[in-house]
């Protein structure tokens, strides 16, 4: 954000996951107004391919994870918040290991979208992982998830039919299928 846009800021909430600021800003036309902005330290997510993504219909790992705010269980790619001083790629590798038990031979960044720029500054770095070696998961106390192996074609059909509704997962899977795996 340009320094000449922000006039003042007041912290309204300071939580573990998010912070809420009330910013007084200067709009592009020179007028001023207030905007409530959710602040988030950022996150990483990773699309883990269990089989060669160059194959006809590769296998990938998805989590079926309980999300209270989402209304129940959702299918997701592994993801989590960046720790202080942690690089996005290190976060992606850590989340892959904790949530699927896997380590990856290769991790490549695909994109880093803003998730809801109308009111939040959260950016999620999305990676593609290949050459997986399976191991044991290490869920946090508030994580309730199961690892599922799916064909990429099945996951894409689930997106089309509204069975996968998580934005980072949709972005990651479509980006991988559309830009990284095409011939």
Catalytic positions are: 143
Instruction: Output the CA torsion sign for 94, 179, 70, 136.
Output: negative
By DSSP bridging, strand 124-133 and strand 43-48 are: parallel
Residues with Cβ within 8 Å of residue 124, at least 6 apart in sequence: 42, 43, 44, 45, 79, 112, 113, 115, 168
In whole angstroms, give the CA distance from residue 2 to residue 172.
Answer: 29
The continuous run of DSSP H or E covering 97 comes out as helix 88-100
The continuous run of DSSP H or E covering 95 comes out as helix 88-100
């Amino acid at each position: 954000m340009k320094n000449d846009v922000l006039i003042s800021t007041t912290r309204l909430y300071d939580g573990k996951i998010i912070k809420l600021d009330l910013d007084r800003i200067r709009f592009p036309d020179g007028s001023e107004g207030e905007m409530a902005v959710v602040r988030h330290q950022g996150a990483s997510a990773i699309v883990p391919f269990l089989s060669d993504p160059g194959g006809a219909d590769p296998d990938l790992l998805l989590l079926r994870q309980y999300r209270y705010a989402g209304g129940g269980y959702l299918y997701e790619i592994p993801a989590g918040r960046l720790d202080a001083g942690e690089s996005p790629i290190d976060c992606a590798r850590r989340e892959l290991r904790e949530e699927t038990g896997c380590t990856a031979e290769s991790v490549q960044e695909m994109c880093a979208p803003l998730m809801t720029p109308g009111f939040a500054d959260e950016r999620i770095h999305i990676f593609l992982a290949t050459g997986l070696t399976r191991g044991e998961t290490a869920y946090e106390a508030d994580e309730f998830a199961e690892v599922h192996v799916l064909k990429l074609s099945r996951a894409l059909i689930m997106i089309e039919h509204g069975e996968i509704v998580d934005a980072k997962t949709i972005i990651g899977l479509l980006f991988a299928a559309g830009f990284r795996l095409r011939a």
